[in-house]
């Protein structure tokens, strides 16, 4: 454990392929609460597991009610210092793609091409039919929800429509898992940022990178599950740590 910012700068300068792996902590300064910090989303609401969402119309209604309640927060959020610093390294050609557990679309908003953001847990800024996979914008869902008082089903196949996120108990997206595995194996520097590293299988990627020979850096203001395997742990605010790399 160190404040290690200088060492991080040297590691970044030496590395040729850097893969960042981000969690909710990179977006807290943008006004989006994380899960596990005090005041985080979990202290307010128990997450609704996938099988419950499928089985119960009440659960679907509740899930959408919660999503609409937090909509203004997601809409107001803009990329923070951490997002901007990573986007600068991406533009400089140091980062081929980013792996994220976040669902907030802020890496795309900071300048990463859609195709270079590997989303392990999906994206909450649009919706998807769980049957046929058709995507919907949230306005479509909201309009129908408000008109009928209930979560709408797919206009085509009549299966439930859910935010395009991965709920507990839902299958991981295969293509994203494949790409994240490939990136973890290819990189020479893997930086886990703002994740408590307890949600599996996502939390397996730092170890995977390490086993493939990458150096591992963890940036988080609290201890994580995997600090002891890291080459460098920076236990400090993310924006303060990464901001100086882009001059703020
Ligand atoms: P987490 O809530 O388990 O962990 C976040 C970590 O970041 C915590 O250890 C916290 O101490 C740290 N942190 C918070 N603010 C920080 C800051 N400014 N500087 C340094 N560290 C900071 O998050 P997770 O590991 O990403 O797992 C939660 C799951 O919830 C993810 O799978 C994700 O899909 C979902 N989620 C996403 C968002 C989002 O998209 N922004 C928000 C909440 C939850």
Q: Report all structural domains of the chain as residue ranges with CATH numbers, in order of start.
A: 1-31+79-120+173-248 (3.40.50.1220), 33-76+122-165 (3.30.1600.10)
Place of tokens 């959020």: 77
**HEC secondary structure over 30-70:** HCCCCCCCCCCHHHHCCCCCHHHHHHCHHHHHHHHHHHHHC
Atom of ligand 1 nearest to the CA of 121: 34
- 132 annotated to bind ligand: yes
**143 CA to centre of ligand 1 in angstroms:** 30
Specify the residue with its C-alpha closest to ligand 1, atom 30: 35
Specify the residue with its C-alpha closest to ligand 1, atom 40: 102
Preceding peptide of 171 cis, ω within 30°: no
Question: What beta strand segments (E) does the chain contain?
Answer: 18-22, 98-100, 117-119, 122-129, 135-136, 161-165, 189-193, 215-219, 232-234
Q: Residue 116's pLDDT is what? A: 98
Residue 76: its H or E element: helix 71-76
DSSP lists the bridge partners of residue 119 as 100
Cβ contact 63:48 at 8 Å:
yes
Assign 3-state DSSP to the chain and report helix, strand, coil percentages, each to 5.
45, 15, 40
Specify the residue with its C-alpha closest to ligand 1, atom 43: 34
Q: Residue 1's pLDDT is what? A: 44
Mean pLDDT in the chain? 94
CA distance 117 to 36: 23
CA distance 180 to 154: 30
**147 CA to centre of ligand 1 in angstroms:** 34
Q: Is 34 in the pocket of ligand 1 (CB under 6 A)?
A: yes
pLDDT band at 39 (very low <50, low <70, confident <90, very high): low
Q: List the structure tokens of 104.
A: 């907030």
Atom of ligand 1 nearest to the CA of 41: 43
User: What is the set of active-site residues?
Assistant: 121
- Interval 100-129: pLDDT, tens: 999 999 999 999 999 999 999 999 999 999
Instruction: State phi, psi for 237 to the nearest 5 degrees.
Output: -60, 135
Is the ipTM above a cut-off of 0.90? Answer: yes
Q: Residue 37's pLDDT is what? A: 64
**36 CA to centre of ligand 1 in angstroms:** 7
- Interval 157-210: pLDDT, tens: 999 999 999 999 999 999 999 999 999 999 999 999 999 999 899 999 999 999
Indicate the pTM of the whole model: 0.95
Rounded to the nearest angstrom, the gap between the alpha carbon of residue 124 and the centroid of all alpha carbons in its chain is 10
Q: Is 102 in the pocket of ligand 1 (CB under 6 A)?
A: yes
**Is 73 a residue whose pLDDT tops 60?**
yes
Q: Is 225 in the pocket of ligand 1 (CB under 6 A)?
A: no
- 129 annotated to bind ligand: yes
Q: Is 30 in the pocket of ligand 1 (CB under 6 A)?
A: no
């Amino acid at each position: 454990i160190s404040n290690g910012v200088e060492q991080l700068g040297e590691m970044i300068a030496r590395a040729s392929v850097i893969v960042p792996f981000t969690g909710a902590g990179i977006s807290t300064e943008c006004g989006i609460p994380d899960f596990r910090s005090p005041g985080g989303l979990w202290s307010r609401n128990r997450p609704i597991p996938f099988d419950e969402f499928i089985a119960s119309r009440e659960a679907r209604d509740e899930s959408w009610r919660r999503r609409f309640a937090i909509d203004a927060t997601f809409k107001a959020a803009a990329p923070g210092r951490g997002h901007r610093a990573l986007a600068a390294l991406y533009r400089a050609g140091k980062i081929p793609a980013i792996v994220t557990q976040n669902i907030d679309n802020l890496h795309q908003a900071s300048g990463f091409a859609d195709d270079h953001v590997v989303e392990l847990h999906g994206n909450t800024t649009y919706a998807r039919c769980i049957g046929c996979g058709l995507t919907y914008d949230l306005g479509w869902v909201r309009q129908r929800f408000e008109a009928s008082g209930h979560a709408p089903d797919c206009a085509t196949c009549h299966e439930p429509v859910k935010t395009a996120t991965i709920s507990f108990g839902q299958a991981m997206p295969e293509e994203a898992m494949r790409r994240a595995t490939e990136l973890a194996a290819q990189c020479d520097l893997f930086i886990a940022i703002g994740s408590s590293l307890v949600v599996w299988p996502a939390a397996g990627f730092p170890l995977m990178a390490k086993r493939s020979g990458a150096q591992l850096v963890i940036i988080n203001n609290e201890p994580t599950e995997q600090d002891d395997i890291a080459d460098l742990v920076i236990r400090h605010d993310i924006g303060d740590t990464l901001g100086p790399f882009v001059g703020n």
